[in-house]
Amino acid sequence: MSPGPRRPAGWRTLSCALATAVLAAAAPGAAVAVAPATASAAPVRTPPRSAPEAGSDAPSLPRIPAVLDDRTCTEASRKAPRMTPWQQTLLNPSAAWRHSTGRGVTVAVVDTGVAADGVPALAGRVASGEDGGSATEDCVGHGTFVAGLIAAARSKGTGFAGIAPDARILAVRGTDRQGRATAEGMADGIDAAVRGGARVICVPRALPRGGPALTAAVRRAVQRDALVVAPAYAPREDDEDAPAPAAWPARLPGVLAVAALTPQGAADQTRAPRTRPDLAAPGVSVMSTGPRGDGYFTGSGAEFAAALVAGTAALVDEYRPGLSAAQLAERLTGTAYRPAPDTERRLVGAGTVDPVAAVTGELGDKGDRAEAAPAAAPHVPAPPPDTGRDRALLVAGGVTAVILLVALGAVAVPLGRRRGWRPGRLPPSGPPGAARP
């Protein structure tokens, strides 16, 4: 059987070139088609930019104790890093400071006391409750650490500041001088905070059990329209994978229960605590002031997350005077960053507290997350459109054009050489071997 008509080598080259061009154009499209599926699996929230700094720097700071084993007071820290701690990078309170700094708002700290003297970041803004001034002394340092998270002043020497840097602190002793707490002592402290006129009462101790006195004190605070903020659970040294036990006073009605976040922006609990949180805030490896001097300490626990929520409440109270305690709590939860779809709400409640939206946002009709006013929110440019597919098609088109030019050259050059570059005539139509005109 005789072979069919043989096409010139140039035509074979052209066919190969066209096939290559089709593959080149299809491959980028296939790669781009996978990209949206990968992107949609990404979490809603990204880790804060300062997380690596916090993870490496915070352990180098001395740790603030909650209870002293002996009668030796906590020594001053000699470390004063200039870094901005991760809790501020995540919450971005400086964007809210253009509208509110907590000026004129009193936040009570019911804890080990708050050092009124010797801590420059709190100088002139710490008052004592009804105990004759002993609450302005803090041997442990835990209460001063909490007060710093709430209201430490801004300073040029460091990036650290409290969430409400102009708020006033009412120091109330809720523990003994070594830091040991009881339900009765906390109840007395809450009552003293109410009598002292505190608008926000931070109780940074999670007790394993309550009692009639504590329940009654919280009820009186709610009746006096004070917002009580407390940790949803206490730090544990036992099985970290087990649910955190119930905590008082956070378990009581009218108390805003707060969970802690890690420097990666995730919940610090793996299972839902017995006391369900209403809100979350940074609470692991956070940085704040100590009981004396201008050095800093680090600490971890939901009690420090509660302090940051209390500071945010002070910002809101200055900017929106006249809100009831219930409305203030609703604004804090209603403006929170919602957790990612795959995040268990039982770990973080409404989400992460947002100082900017809490101050300037407008609550939706059905409890939707508030959108911050344009003037208050930091300007974030809109993300550029996804041009990956456009770039792929442009590259494929360019490759195709080049291949076609090369293929045409492969056909035209041999033909031109055989004809001595003389113009030719089109071949006649009809079967092979037909006579030419």
- Does position 432 have pLDDT exceeding 60, yes or no? no
* Contact call for residues 111 and 128 (beta carbons, < 8 A): no
Mean of the per-residue pLDDT values of the chain: 79
Percent of all residues in the chain with a pLDDT value above 90, rounded to a whole number: 59
Pairwise CA distance, residues 173 & 203, whole Å: 10
Mean pLDDT of 260-282: 95
* Contact call for residues 194 and 124 (beta carbons, < 8 A): no
What one-letter code names the amino acid at 106? T
* Contact call for residues 195 and 220 (beta carbons, < 8 A): no
Task: Please state the φ and ψ torsions of residue 110, each to the nearest 5 degrees.
Answer: -95, 95
Alpha helices in 123-231 (DSSP H): 142-151, 183-195, 212-223
- Does position 29 have pLDDT exceeding 80, yes or no? no
- How high is the pLDDT of residue 418? 59
Strand partners, 286: 299
More confident residue, 205 or 363: 205
Cα-based angle 93, 97, 99 (whole degrees, multiple of 5): 130
Mean pLDDT of 274-296: 96
User: Of 2, 11, 1, 12, which Cα lies nearest the Cα of 433?
Assistant: 2
Q: End-to-end CA distance of the chain, in Å?
A: 30
Mean pLDDT of 99-106: 98
* Contact call for residues 310 and 195 (beta carbons, < 8 A): no
Pairwise CA distance, residues 346 & 326, whole Å: 21
Mean pLDDT of 16-22: 44
Mean pLDDT of 267-280: 95
Confidence band of 409 (pLDDT split at 50, 70, 90):
low
Range with the lowest mean pLDDT among 28-42, 267-281, 306-320? 28-42
- How high is the pLDDT of residue 400? 59
- Does position 53 have pLDDT exceeding 90, yes or no? no
Pairwise CA distance, residues 371 & 362, whole Å: 6
* Contact call for residues 348 and 272 (beta carbons, < 8 A): no
- Does position 373 have pLDDT exceeding 80, yes or no? no
- Does position 333 have pLDDT exceeding 80, yes or no? yes
- How high is the pLDDT of residue 241? 74
- Does position 325 have pLDDT exceeding 90, yes or no? yes
How, if at all, do strands 200-202 and 168-173 pair?
unpaired
Output the six-digit token pair for 71: 């009668």
- Does position 157 have pLDDT exceeding 50, yes or no? yes
Please give the DSSP secondary-structure letter assigned to residue 321: T
Pairwise CA distance, residues 277 & 301, whole Å: 14
pLDDT in tens, 206-261: 999 999 999 999 999 999 999 999 999 998 766 667 899 999 999 999 999 999 99
- Rounded (to 5) percent helix, strand, coil in the chain: 35, 10, 50
Question: Cβ neighbours of residue 184 under 8 Å, at least 6 residues apart?
Answer: 211, 213, 214
* Contact call for residues 173 and 140 (beta carbons, < 8 A): no
Percent of all residues in the chain with a pLDDT value above 70, rounded to a whole number: 67
Range with the lowest mean pLDDT among 265-269, 293-297, 410-414? 410-414
User: Counting beta carbons within 10 angstroms of the beta carbon of residue 64, is it exposed (0 to 12), middle (13 to 18) or buried (19 or more)?
Assistant: buried
